[in-house]
Amino acid sequence: MKFGLQHPSFSYNFSNYQDTLKELALFAERTGFDSFWVMDHFHQISVVGKPYEPMLEGWTTISFLAAVTTKIRLGTLVTGVIYRHPSVLAKIGATLDVLSDGRLFLGIGAAWNEEESSAYGIPFPSTGARFLMLEEALQIIRGMWNKKLETTTFDGRFYKLKDAYCNPKPLQEPMPPILVGGSGEKKTLKIVAKHADACNLFGSPETIKRKLEALFDHCKKIGRNYDTILKTKLSHVIIAKDGEGAERRVNERFGEMDKESRREFVIYGNPAEVLEQILIFKDVGINYLIVNFESRREMESLEVFTEKVMAKL
């Protein structure tokens, strides 16, 4: 199993964002994480903090990280399709892949944060329209990244391109991997089967098992090899050297939830218990786990996780 690290909160970086990000990304690179991710939001989301808390723009942030790291993949988890025209996003992604020596991992989704969109004056179409936009965007990005095509022309419902260049092309062969975020069994996972290299799911082992079965069915219907899709899961991890400490911290963070509901959102316990839960996700089909930690204890938790959990996998 491979691992990615997500850094969703900048509230405890104080004013020294550069050094904090550099320290985290280099630690992740040194200890075997395959990727480092930030969210693509313009203000903080409610499940992480208050909307006025610090939030660095995602693509600018990973561009900075491209300059201070050498091996780790970099991505946004995930870019909302409505935030940038897909032809411009293709150019941004190609540029980052070139300047990072081939380390972009593109995460993209249909977007969901209507409150944020309204705050920034970004149109927020219906759910159905946003999924159609996502499908068109994926076709445009793949077209512009295709090294066999000099230009891209596209005539869709939402986007129209005529002879759009993307030079230089991305370095990765055949192109950077594309992850589609979201767990919807009817629409999102169907789009994954048709257009993506990876999915990103949420939930307990039971939930993940059901969603992967839905993905398998979509692949079967269109003749796609299910095994060619990387199955990733995003999870909040609360890890402590003793189980009681982890339980106390989970109660502080998710006190209003019953234990079954918590299993949909968080992996927690002492290192042995966290390892056991990760192995269950591996058994149901997850082969890439993206984790984030309590903001105030991020580095402390990272050290325990890498030494006591990742080292055993």
Whether 286 is in a domain gets the answer: yes
Distance, CA of 43 to chain centre: 17
User: Could you tell me the CA-to-CA distances from 171 to 10, 85, 89, 176 in Å, in that order?
Assistant: 31, 22, 16, 8
pLDDT of residue 15: 66
Question: pLDDT value at position 14?
Answer: 62
- 26's CB contacts (< 8 A; 6+ apart) are 68, 69
Is 154 within the bounds of a domain?
Answer: no
C-alpha 212/C-alpha 33 separation (Å) is: 24
Provide the domain count of the chain.
Answer: 1
Determine the pLDDT at residue 66.
98
The token pair that represents 299 in the structure block: 């580095």
**Domain range for residue 248?**
2-142+176-312
User: Measured between alpha carbons, how far is 93 from 23 in angstroms, rounded to an integer?
Assistant: 24
> Distance between CA 251 and CA 175 in Å, rounded?
43
pLDDT given for residue 245 in this prediction: 84
Q: Which two tokens stand for residue 6?
A: 């997500």
pLDDT of residue 254: 81
Q: Residue 167 domain-assigned?
A: no
The answer to whether residue 156 sits within a structural domain is: no
DSSP run (H or E) holding 212: helix 205-222
- The answer to whether 205 touches 280, Cβ cutoff 8 Å, is yes
Nearest CA to 165 out of 66, 95, 60 is that of: 95
Dist. CA 191–CA 198, nearest whole Å: 11
Q: What is the CATH number of the domain that holds 82?
A: 3.20.20.30
Long-range contacts of 111-117 (CB under 8 A, 24+ apart): 111/80, 111/81, 111/82, 111/83, 112/80, 113/41, 113/45, 113/80, 115/51, 116/41, 116/42, 116/43, 116/45, 116/51, 117/82
Following DSSP, what letter does each residue of 71-139 receive, concatenated?
A: SSEEEETTEETTTS-HHHHHHHHHHHHHHTTS-B-EEEE----HHHHHHTT-----HHHHHHHHHHHHH
Q: Is residue 93 part of a domain?
A: yes
pLDDT at 302: 96
Along the chain (313 residues), what's the average pLDDT of each consecutive run of 10 residues?
Answer: 96 83 97 98 93 96 98 98 98 98 98 96 98 98 98 98 98 98 95 98 96 98 98 96 84 80 90 97 98 93 96 91
